[in-house]
C-alpha cells in the first residue's frame, strides 16, 4: 500500500509477533469447541493466521474492503474471506433488529481496526457513523468498530483488539471508556506506548475483553510499556520476550520500563495503578489545597489562521503599528522564556469593556499591509460566516489579558516547562497560559515552582501518562488544570514562591542549577514526600 492509501484507509497491518501475542492471550481464556472467529478488518490475514496456529479447530472468517487484502487472506487454508463493510454488516445484528440471528454471531473477535480520525473521514461520514452508533464528539473509526463487535458477539464472547491508546487519556475517548464498561468485562489491557510496533505514529494498546456477564466480577489488569532512560535489568531480542514483568528491559538501542498493576478508572483518565502509586497518591492528596485550575482558566494561545501574514520575525520598515511580541514553543524555557523571535500584527482591542476588531483606518501602515493581503485573508470563508472583519485574527483571546502576569507552558514537551510572561507578550496557539482570576500573582509563582519540579513530572505519569514518541508529553488543559498546589500560606509554599522569583530574576545572569535543585526539594517537602 502507498502512504496515501494507508492514511485514507487507516490500514496498518499487524506485525506477526504482536498478532501471535494477541492470539495466545485469547487462547488462554477460550473454552469453546470449534469457535467461530471473525477478523472484521483482516488486512493481509496476519491475525487470522496467528489465531489458526493457536486455536487450530476454529472456524475462521475475515472481512475487509480492500480486494488485495481479501485475496491475501483467502490464501490461508479454511478461512472464509469476503469483501464486506463490517460497520454495515454489524447493523444487521442490532438486538432490536428483525435480522438479528444468534446462530450467525461469533465466539471470538480478533481485530486491528483501521485508525482513521474525524478529519480524515470527513465531517459528513464522521457524523453518519456517530449517529448510527450513538457516539459523541470527535471520533476515530475504531470507536464504531467496538460498537459493531459487541453487536456480532455471542454471549460470553471474547475480544482481542489492537487499538490506539488515545481513548484512555483524552476527553474525546470518554464515550468509548463508558461503552467498554457497559458492553464488556475488561480482563486485561497492555499499553504498548512508544514501542514503535507499527510504522505509523500510532501508540497501540491491546484490550482483552469478554462480553458483559452479570455473574462475572473481574478486576481488570493493566501493563504499561514505555521507553525510559533508566538502566536496564536485562537485554532481550524483542519486547515480547520480556514476559511483561515489572522491570527495565533493553531492546535494541532502547530501554523500556514495564509496569504491571490494575486498571484505574476512578480519575480523569484510565491509567495503571500499583500499590506504590496508590500510596504516593494518598500522600499527595493529603497535602493538596488547590489546583492550577483554581488559580484561573487554562487558555490556549492565539490562532490567526493566517500566520504567514500576521506573524513574522523580520517586519520590513516602516513597521506596521499594532505589533506585539509573540511567545511560541520555540521560546520555551523554565521560569523565563527566551526573548521572542516573532511579532504578531494584533488586530484586536477593548472598547467600552468589550473585545472588538481595531479600526484599521486609524493605523495607516498596518492598513496598507493588510490591504495588500486582503485577497488571502478574505478567502477564510469561516471569517465571513461568523460575520467578522476580513482582517481579524480568528482566535485573538482577550486583549486586556496580555499585559497581566501569565503562567505559560507548551502543549508538547518531554519535561514540564513553565514560565512567567508579562510585558504585553501575546501567546501563540502551541502554548497554554493562566492568569490569576483573583489577581493573586503569588499563586502563579507558586505554580511556577511546582510546575518546573520533577514532582510534577512524576504526578503527570502517575495520573495521566499521555506520552508520545521520544518521551514527549501532552500538557493539555484537562491535565494541567488538575495539577496540585500546596497551601499557599505554609512556610514551605512561601519559600517556593520566593525562590521561583529569585530564579526568574537571575536566570539570564548566572547558572541557577543549584537554586532549581533546592526548589525541587522544597516542592517534594510541600507534598509530604
- 469 in a domain, yes or no? yes
**Same domain assignment for residues 229 and 210:** no
Instruction: Answer whether residue 513 shows pLDDT above 60.
Output: yes
Residue the block writes with cell 500546596: 486
Question: Per DSSP, what are the bridge partners of residue 410?
Answer: 431
Instruction: With beta carbons less than 8 A apart as the criterion, state whether 501 and 308 touch.
Output: no
pLDDT at position 352: 87
- Does residue 6 surpass a pLDDT of 50? no
Of 186, 218, 250, the residue that ends a domain is 218
Residue 316 has pLDDT above 80, yes or no: yes
Q: Are residues 184 and 313 in the same domain?
A: no
H and E: helices and strands count for the chain:
20, 26
Residues 187 and 263 in one domain: no
- Give every CB contact of residue 478 below 8 A, 6+ residues apart in sequence: 170, 171, 268
Omega of the bond leading into 318 within 30 degrees of 0 (cis) = yes
Q: Please give the share of the chain, as a percent, with pLDDT higher than 70.
A: 89
Do 400 and 430 belong to one domain? yes
3-state secondary structure 196-243: CCCCCCCCEEEEEEEECCCCCCCCCEEEEEEEECCCCCEEECCHHHHC
**What pLDDT is attached to residue 189?**
96
d(CA 481, CA 442): 17
Residue 520 burial class via C-beta count within 10 angstroms: exposed 0-12, middle 13-18, buried 19 and up: middle
Q: Residues 502-511: pLDDT tens digits?
A: 999 999 999 9
Give the confidence band of 91 by pLDDT, cuts at 50, 70, 90.
confident
The pLDDT-based confidence of 145 (bands split at 50, 70, 90) is confident
* Grid coordinates of 68: 488485495
CA distance 504 to 419: 8
| Residues 229 and 307 occupy one common structural domain | no
Contact residues for 490 (Cβ-Cβ < 8 A; gap 6+): 526
Is there a single domain that holds both residue 342 and residue 374? Answer: yes
3-state secondary structure at position 382: helix
Number of CB atoms found within 10 A of residue 375's CB: 9
Closest alpha carbon to 305 in 199, 428, 411, 415: 428
CA distance 488 to 494: 7
pTM for this prediction? 0.82
Neighbours of 286 (CB within 10 A): 9
Q: Are 256 and 225 in contact (CB under 8 A)?
A: yes
Determine the Cα–Cα distance for residues 175 and 177; give it in Å rounded to an integer: 5
Instruction: Encode pLDDT of 401-430 as tens digits.
Output: 999 999 999 999 999 999 999 888 999 999
Closest CA to 366 of 316, 315, 322: 322
Cα(275)–Cα(273) distance, integer angstroms: 7
> Does 143 lie in the same domain as 39?
yes
Q: How many CA atoms lie within 13 A of 296 on its CB side?
A: 22
Condensed to tens digits (0 to 9), the pLDDT of residues 29-43 reads 988 899 999 999 998
The terminus-to-terminus CA distance of the chain in angstroms comes to 52
Mean pLDDT (the chain, rounded): 88
**Whether 312 and 451 share a structural domain:** yes
Q: Per-residue confidence at 296, pLDDT binned at 50, 70, 90? A: very high
Closest by Cα among 358, 383, 407 to 303 = 383
* Same domain, yes or no: 386 and 510: yes
The DSSP bridge pattern shows strands 484-485 and 290-291 to be: antiparallel
Of 243-252, 332-341, 459-468, give the lowest mean pLDDT range: 459-468
Name the residue range of residue 20's domain: 3-218
Half-sphere exposure of 207 (CA within 13 A, CB side): 28
User: Which range (273-277, 444-448, 518-522) has the least confidence?
Assistant: 273-277
pLDDT at residue 324 greater than cutoff 50: yes
Kindly state whether residue 73 falls inside one of the protein's structural domains: yes
Q: What are phi and psi of 414, to 5 degrees?
A: -65, -45
Count of domains observed in the chain? 3
pLDDT tier at 99 (50, 70, 90 boundaries)?
very low
The pLDDT tens digits for 364-400 are 999 999 999 999 999 999 999 999 999 999 999 999 9
pLDDT above 90: percentage of residues in the chain:
64
Residue 211 · residue 156 · CB < 8 Å: yes
**182 and 312 inside one domain:** no
3-state secondary structure of 425: coil
162 pLDDT above the threshold of 50? yes
- Residue 283: inside a domain: no
Q: What is the DSSP string of 87-151?
A: HHHHHTT-TTSTT--GGGSEEEEEE-----BHHHH-HHHHHHHHHHTT--SS-BHHHHHHHHHHH
Mean pLDDT of 195-204: 77
Supply the pLDDT for residue 88: 84
Is residue 318 situated within a structural domain?
Answer: yes
pLDDT 10s digits, 203-227: 899 999 999 876 667 789 999 999 8
Q: How does residue 11 score in pLDDT terms, banded at 50, 70 and 90?
A: very low
Residue 293 falls inside a structural domain: no
The verdict on residue 280 lying in a domain is: no
Q: Is residue 288 part of a domain?
A: no
What SS3 class is residue 71?
Answer: helix
Give the whole-angstrom CA distance, residue 228 versus residue 249. 9
Per-residue confidence (pLDDT) for residue 467, from 0 to 100: 76
Environment class of 289 (CB within 10 Å of its CB; exposed 0-12, middle 13-18, buried 19+): middle
Residue 38 bridge partners (DSSP):
61, 109
The angle, 0 to 180 degrees and rounded to 10, between the axes of the packed helices 513-526 and 454-463 is 50
- For the chain, how many residues are written? 529
Do 304 and 243 belong together in one domain? no
- Cell numbers linked to 97: 433488529
Give the domain CATH number at 112. 3.40.50.150
Beta bridge partners, 409, equal 432
pLDDT value at residue 133: 59
In this structure, are residues 51 and 108 in contact, taking their beta carbons and an 8 Å threshold? Answer: yes
434-455 mean pLDDT:
95
431 assigned to some structural domain: yes
Look at residue 10 in the predicted model and tell me its pLDDT.
41
Based on the domain organization, do 248 and 350 belong to the same domain? Answer: no
User: Which cell goes with 46?
Assistant: 496476519
Q: Which of 189, 218, 247 is the last residue of a domain?
A: 218
**CA torsion 163→166→168→170, rounded to 10°?**
-150
Amino acid at each position: 500500500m502507498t502512504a496515501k492509501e494507508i492514511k485514507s484507509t487507516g490500514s496498518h497491518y499487524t506485525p506477526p509477533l504482536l498478532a501471535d501475542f494477541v492470539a495466545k492471550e485469547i487462547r488462554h481464556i477460550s473454552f469453546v469447541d470449534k469457535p467461530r472467529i471473525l477478523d472484521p478488518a483482516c488486512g493481509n490475514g496476519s491475525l487470522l493466521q496467528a489465531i489458526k496456529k493457536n486455536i487450530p479447530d476454529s472456524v475462521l472468517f475475515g472481512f475487509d474492503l480492500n480486494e488485495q487484502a481479501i485475496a491475501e487472506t483467502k490464501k490461508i487454508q479454511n478461512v472464509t474471506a469476503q469483501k464486506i463493510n463490517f460497520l454495515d454488516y454489524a447493523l444487521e445484528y442490532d438486538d432490536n433488529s428483525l435480522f438479528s440471528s444468534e446462530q450467525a454471531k461469533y465466539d471470538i473477535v480478533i481485530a486491528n481496526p483501521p485508525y482513521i480520525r474525524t478529519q480524515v473521514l470527513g465531517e459528513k461520514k464522521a457524523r453518519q457513523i456517530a449517529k448510527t452508533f450513538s457516539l459523541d464528539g470527535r471520533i476515530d473509526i475504531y470507536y464504531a468498530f467496538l460498537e459493531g463487535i459487541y453487536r456480532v458477539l455471542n454471549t460470553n464472547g471474547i475480544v482481542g483488539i489492537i487499538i490506539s491508546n488515545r481513548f484512555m487519556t483524552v476527553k474525546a475517548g470518554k464515550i468509548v471508556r463508558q461503552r467498554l464498561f457497559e458492553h464488556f468485562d475488561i480482563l486485561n489491557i497492555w499499553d504498548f506506548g512508544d514501542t514503535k510496533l507499527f510504522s505509523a505514529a500510532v501508540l497501540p494498546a491491546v484490550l482483552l475483553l469478554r462480553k458483559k456477564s452479570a455473574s462475572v466480577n473481574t478486576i481488570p489488569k493493566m501493563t504499561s510499556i514505555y521507553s525510559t532512560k533508566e538502566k536496564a535489568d536485562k537485554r532481550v531480542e524483542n519486547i515480547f520476550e520480556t514476559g511483561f514483568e515489572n522491570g527495565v528491559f533493553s531492546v535494541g538501542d532502547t530501554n523500556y520500563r514495564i509496569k504491571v498493576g490494575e486498571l484505574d478508572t476512578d480519575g480523569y483518565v484510565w491509567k495503571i495503578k500499583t500499590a506504590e502509586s496508590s500510596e504516593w497518591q494518598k500522600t499527595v492528596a493529603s497535602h493538596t489545597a488547590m489546583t492550577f485550575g483554581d488559580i484561573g482558566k487554562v487558555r490556549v494561545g492565539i490562532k490567526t489562521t493566517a500566520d504567514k501574514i500576521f506573524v513574522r520575525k523580520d517586519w520590513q520598515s516602516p513597521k506596521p503599528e499594532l505589533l506585539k511580541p509573540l511567545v511560541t514553543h520555540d521560546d520555551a524555557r523554565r521560569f523565563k522564556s527566551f526573548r521572542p523571535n516573532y511579532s504578531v500584527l494584533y488586530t484586536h482591542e477593548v472598547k467600552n469593556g468589550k473585545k472588538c476588531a481595531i479600526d484599521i483606518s486609524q493605523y495607516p501602515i498596518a492598513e496598507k499591509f493588510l490591504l495588500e493581503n486582503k485577497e488571502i485573508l478574505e478567502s477564510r470563508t469561516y471569517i465571513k460566516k461568523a460575520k467578522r472583519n476580513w482582517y481579524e485574527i480568528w482566535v485573538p483571546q482577550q486583549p486586556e489579558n496580555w499585559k497581566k502576569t501569565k503562567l505559560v507552558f507548551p502543549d508538547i514537551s518531554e519535561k514540564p516547562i513553565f514560565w512567567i510572561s508579562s510585558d504585553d507578550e501575546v501567546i501563540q496557539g502551541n502554548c497554554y497560559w493562566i492568569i490569576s482570576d483573583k489577581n493573586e500573582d503569588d499563586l502563579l509563582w507558586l505554580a511556577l515552582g511546582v510546575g518546573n519540579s520533577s514532582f510534577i513530572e512524576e504526578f503527570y505519569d502517575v495520573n495521566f501518562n499521555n506520552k508520545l514518541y521520544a518521551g514527549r508529553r501532552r500538557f493539555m488543559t484537562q491535565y494541567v488544570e488538575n495539577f496540585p498546589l500546596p497551601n499557599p500560606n505554609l512556610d514551605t509554599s512561601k519559600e517556593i514562591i520566593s525562590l521561583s522569583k529569585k530564579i526568574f530574576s537571575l536566570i539570564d545572569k548566572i547558572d541557577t542549577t543549584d537554586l532549581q535543585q533546592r526548589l525541587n526539594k522544597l516542592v517534594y517537602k510541600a507534598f509530604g514526600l
